């Protein structure tokens, strides 16, 4: 009996050594969770035996449990590296089935899908609008980066904020000739865009026509072509230097001649003033932009994935979904820092980062292993001592057996 008990102790010590060795080996594995060997005692009782006299039959391995405590968060600067600060797992699609992981080292495959090192695709809620205000939480989908350019938008409005110096020279009524600087007091320009995303330079020329009436003529010319937009508008200011009319200003249409639609921009001079200070342009804003190519990616702590384009625009691609279980320790380890669901884990709960009990996402960071090397070294020494002690029991039992066999010789 002693042999069997000691052998079970050796097996338990070996299991502890194996688990400890695996923990130490994965001390630097992203998203790895420390394991712990758990044991139960064994009793072998015969029918009608008195329980208080049972000596026990050794020990057996009950389970190897993963400990889902938070690992340290290490910053990497890579926007596709994601760490979960709190509870939850990334949901990954693996050939039609789902697996779960805390390892957030992702990249983009040849088809634009966001995948981990094993090629498993990160799951997200699809975006219902490019602004990222609404997401389809009814179902999950593979997160895929857009491969197409962002469509251009032609300029339709422009906001102009500037000051026309009140004591500027009055030039009186007359023609504004863009080739003759003596026919206007000031000029400025801004970039506008046609329907194909091609940029154009739209210049504004200001001519003071009447000091008493506080009026200025304005002419707009695009790309230096003064034959198309010949309309001249008049700005009128009150005694406090505030613009009184007109709003908005339109100078007619311009044909860029490249196959794009004719351009017609409304200019809003609400921010224009006529003060005694020098001529100054405070701001020029127009609502058009060119074609944009994907230039970067931003992922918020709530999981919203935003694509950044070279034209300054953004578009929401989806929201990273997190999963959790009533008993995470019941999940089945699958390797590659992933787990599979099981009956013991309970039903899967899906949610958004930061909502309810789900943790927040940290973009540009990875969760390191939660293994404490010092603790594992102590466990290693303890398991070694246990192994030696059980081996000593076998040696003692062997000696006793030899002694018994020698009785009566």
pLDDT at 63: 82
In this predicted model, which residue has the larger pLDDT, 387 or 245?
245
pLDDT of residue 47 exceeding 90, the answer is: no
**Dist. CA 74–CA 368, nearest whole Å:** 7
pLDDT at 42: 73
What confidence tens digit (pLDDT) does each residue in 296-346 have? 899 999 999 999 999 989 999 999 999 999 999 999 999 999 999 999 999
Element holding 158 (H helix, E strand)? strand 157-163
In the structure, what pLDDT confidence band is assigned to residue 390 with cuts at 50, 70 and 90?
low
Mean pLDDT of all residues in the chain? 89
**Dist. CA 45–CA 58, nearest whole Å:** 13
Tokens matching residue 138: 């009814």
From-to residues of CATH 2.60.98.20 in the chain: 157-286
Threshold 0.85, pTM exceeds: no
**Dist. CA 238–CA 215, nearest whole Å:** 9
pLDDT at 345: 94
What confidence tens digit (pLDDT) does each residue in 85-121 have? 999 999 999 888 999 999 999 999 999 999 999 999 9
Chain center to CA of 10: 48
In the structure, what pLDDT confidence band is assigned to residue 379 with cuts at 50, 70 and 90?
confident
pLDDT at 62: 80
The fourth-level CATH superfamily of domain 157-286 is Flagellar hook protein FlgE (2.60.98.20)
In this predicted model, which residue has the larger pLDDT, 389 or 140?
140
């Amino acid at each position: 009996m002693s042999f069997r008990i000691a052998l079970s102790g050796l097996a338990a010590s070996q299991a502890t050594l194996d688990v400890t060795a695996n923990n130490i080996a994965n001390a630097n594995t992203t998203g790895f969770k420390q394991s712990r060997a758990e044991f139960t005692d064994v009793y072998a009782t015969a029918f009608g035996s008195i329980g208080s006299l049972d000596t026990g039959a050794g020990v057996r391995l009950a389970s190897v449990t993963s400990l889902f405590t938070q690992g340290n968060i290490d910053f990497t600067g890579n926007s596709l590296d994601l760490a979960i600060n709190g509870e939850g797992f990334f949901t990954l699609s693996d050939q039609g089935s789902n697996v779960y992981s805390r390892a957030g080292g992702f990249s983009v495959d040849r088809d634009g899908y966001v995948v981990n090192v094993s090629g498993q695709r990160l799951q997200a809620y699809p975006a219902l609008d490019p602004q990222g205000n609404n997401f389809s939480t009814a179902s999950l989908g593979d997160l895929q980066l857009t491969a197409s350019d962002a469509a251009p938008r032609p300029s339709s409005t422009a906001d102009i904020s500037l000051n026309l110096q009140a004591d500027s020279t009055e030039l009186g009524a007359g023609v504004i000739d863009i080739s003759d600087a003596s026919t206007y007091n000031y000029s400025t320009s801004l970039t506008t865009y046609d329907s194909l995303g091609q940029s154009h330079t739209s210049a504004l020329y200001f001519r003071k026509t009447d000091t008493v009436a506080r009026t200025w003529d304005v002419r707009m010319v695009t790309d230096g072509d003064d034959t198309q937009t010949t309309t001249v508008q008049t700005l009128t200011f009150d005694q406090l230097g505030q613009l009184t009319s007109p709003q908005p200003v339109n100078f007619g249409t311009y044909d860029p001649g490249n196959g794009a639609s004719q351009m017609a921009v409304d200019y809003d001079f609400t921010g224009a003033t006529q003060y005694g200070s020098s001529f100054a342009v405070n701001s020029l804003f127009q609502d058009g932009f060119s074609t944009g190519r994907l230039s970067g990616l931003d992922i918020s702590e709530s999981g919203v994935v935003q694509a950044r384009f070279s034209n300054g625009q953004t578009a929401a691609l989806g929201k990273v979904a997190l999963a959790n279980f009533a008993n995470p320790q019941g999940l089945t380890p699958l390797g590659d820092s992933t787990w599979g669901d099981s009956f013991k884990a309970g039903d899967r709960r899906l949610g958004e980062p930061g909502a309810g009990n789900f943790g927040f996402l940290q973009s540009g960071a990875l969760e390191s292993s939660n293994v404490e090397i010092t603790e594992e070294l102590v466990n290693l020494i303890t398991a070694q001592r246990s192994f030696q002690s059980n081996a000593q029991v076998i040696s003692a039992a062997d000696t006793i057996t030899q002694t018994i066999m020698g009785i009566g010789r």
